[in-house]
């Protein structure tokens, strides 16, 4: 997004204003944005948008907030050109937004089932929308288990939200840091997410699971869930990092006939098993 496209362009972003900017960690920030004109767009948990700073470009980010909360938010780690520009945005600045795009989590199909969320690092924002949606509609779902891991205590994000979620009815929150990442005040688990997942051993009976994090964490967490008895059709993950245009035109995210931006970003483990290994 090197310049603001024309109104009729498929790639034309809507103008949004930064309403809030919240520091989550030294290199991670959450932006709440609102349209310069008109109402908030509607979205489903698990969908993504293309967030951009004019003159710097745009990148795909999950919509981190639940539609039940009345805010459109994204959370990101400062890593490349676009996220660095977004990181520097202040309240009142104007950015571009396209979306929402993609297929979200099938939360209607999860009703009356136990739900297990497994997140690592900056993967938690991709699950946050679904977590808060489920907790906001608590009577519609069974027991909720949230496992979140970070490399170190200093990289943990959403600290206030994690405390709130732990207080929710019939909700268990387990936190872990990698070995060596704990400090003297740490009272959570120590270990890699897949190993801790097997230790806390959430029941697979009547349950679904959603996983997001670094690719290697996803790979081994899917294996751990299979070991715990979760059927592949009941395990979901989301693959935002393979997208570029967001609308299935650039071909950057396709493997065979599958486009992550259009057919995903949410896939079941069963669906992933049918795709080439490089997906």
Q: Is residue 187 part of a domain?
A: yes
Return the CATH number at 88: 2.40.30.10
Q: Is residue 253 part of a domain?
A: no
Q: Is residue 217 part of a domain?
A: yes
E strands in the chain: 14-25, 28-35, 48-53, 57-62, 72-77, 94-101, 114-120, 144-150, 171-177, 189-190, 207-212, 235-238, 254-255, 258-259, 266-268
pLDDT at 278: 53
For residue 163, count other CB atoms closer than 10 A to its CB.
Answer: 10
Mean pLDDT of 262-279: 82
The residues with which 259 forms a beta bridge, in sequence order, are 254
The rounded Cα 201 to chain-centroid distance in angstroms is 23
pLDDT at 203: 97
Return the CATH number at 202: 3.40.50.80
Within this chain, do residues 93 and 120 fall inside the same structural domain, yes or no?
A: no
End-to-end C-alpha distance for the chain, whole angstroms: 26
Domain count for the chain: 2
Q: Is residue 108 part of a domain?
A: no
Higher-scoring residue by pLDDT: 199, 263: 199
pLDDT at 223: 97
Mean pLDDT of 232-246: 83
Give the three-class secondary structure for 121: helix
Within this chain, do residues 58 and 120 fall inside the same structural domain, yes or no?
A: no
For residue 206, count other CB atoms closer than 10 A to its CB.
Answer: 11
Tokens at residue 178, please? 């990698």
- Last residue within a domain, chosen from 101, 124, 144: 101
Q: Is residue 220 part of a domain?
A: yes
pLDDT at 279: 47
Within this chain, do residues 146 and 228 fall inside the same structural domain, yes or no?
A: yes
pLDDT at 7: 52
Counting residues of the chain whose pLDDT is more than 70, the rounded percentage is 95
Within this chain, do residues 146 and 169 fall inside the same structural domain, yes or no?
A: yes
Reply yes or no on whether the pLDDT at 129 is more than 90: yes
Helices (H) and strands (E) in the chain, counts: 7, 15
Round to whole Å and give the CA distance between 40 and 28.
24
Calculated CA dihedral for residues 56, 58, 61, 66, nearest 10 degrees: 100
**Could you please report the per-residue DSSP string of 46-59?**
T-EEEEEETTTEEE
Q: Is residue 243 part of a domain?
A: no
Cβ neighbours for 104, distance < 8 A, ≥ 6 positions apart: 43, 44, 45, 46, 47, 266
The residues with which 103 forms a beta bridge, in sequence order, are 265
Among 79-83, 121-125, 173-177, 257-261, name the one with the lowest average pLDDT.
257-261
Q: Where are the alpha helices (DSSP H) in 55-123?
A: 81-87
The parent domain of residue 167 ranges over 114-238
pTM strictly above 0.85: yes
- Structural Rg of the chain based on CA atoms: 18
Per the prediction, the chain carries an average pLDDT of 92
Instruction: Tell me the pLDDT tens digit for each residue of 192-215.
Output: 999 999 999 999 999 999 999 999
Instruction: Tell me the pLDDT tens digit for each residue of 173-198.
Output: 999 999 999 999 999 999 999 999 99
Within this chain, do residues 84 and 170 fall inside the same structural domain, yes or no?
A: no
Instruction: Tell me the pLDDT tens digit for each residue of 2-50.
Output: 444 445 577 889 999 999 999 999 999 999 999 999 999 999 999 999 9
Within this chain, do residues 86 and 195 fall inside the same structural domain, yes or no?
A: no
Q: 22 with 30: CB under 8 angstroms?
A: yes
Q: Is residue 61 part of a domain?
A: yes
Q: Is residue 139 part of a domain?
A: yes
Within this chain, do residues 66 and 131 fall inside the same structural domain, yes or no?
A: no
pLDDT at 6: 44
pLDDT at 246: 78
Counting residues of the chain whose pLDDT is more than 90, the rounded percentage is 84
The rounded Cα 15 to chain-centroid distance in angstroms is 23
């Amino acid at each position: 997004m090197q310049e603001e496209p024309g109104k009729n362009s498929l790639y034309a972003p809507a103008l949004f204003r930064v309403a809030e900017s919240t520091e989550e960690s030294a290199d991670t920030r959450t932006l709440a944005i609102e349209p310069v004109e008109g109402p908030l767009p509607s979205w489903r948990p698990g969908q993504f948008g293309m967030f951009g700073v004019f003159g710097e470009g745009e990148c795909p980010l999950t919509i981190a907030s639940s539609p039940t909360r009345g805010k459109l938010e994204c959370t990101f780690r400062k890593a490349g050109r676009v996220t660095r520009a977004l990181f520097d945005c202040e309240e009142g600045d104007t950015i571009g937004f396209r979306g929402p795009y993609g297929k979200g989590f099938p939360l209607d199909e999860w009703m009356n089932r136990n739900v297990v969320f497994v997140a690592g690092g900056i993967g938690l924002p991709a699950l946050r929308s679904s977590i808060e949606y489920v907790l906001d509609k608590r009577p519609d779902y069974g027991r909720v288990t949230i496992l979140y891991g970070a490399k170190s205590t200093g990289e943990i994000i959403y600290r206030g939200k994690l405390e709130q979620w732990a207080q929710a009815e019939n909700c268990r929150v387990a936190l872990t840091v990698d070995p060596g990442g704990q400090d003297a005040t740490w009272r959570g688990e120590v270990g890699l997410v897949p190993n801790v997942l097997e230790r806390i051993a959430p029941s697979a009976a009547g349950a679904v699971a959603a996983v997001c994090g670094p690719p290697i964490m996803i790979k081994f967490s899917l294996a751990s869930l299979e070991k715990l008895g979760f059927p592949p059709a009941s395990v979901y993950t989301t693959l935002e990092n393979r997208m570029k245009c967001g609308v299935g035109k650039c071909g950057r995210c396709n493997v065979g006939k599958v486009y992550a931006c259009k057919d995903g970003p949410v896939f079941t483990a069963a669906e992933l098993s049918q795709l080439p290994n490089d997906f």
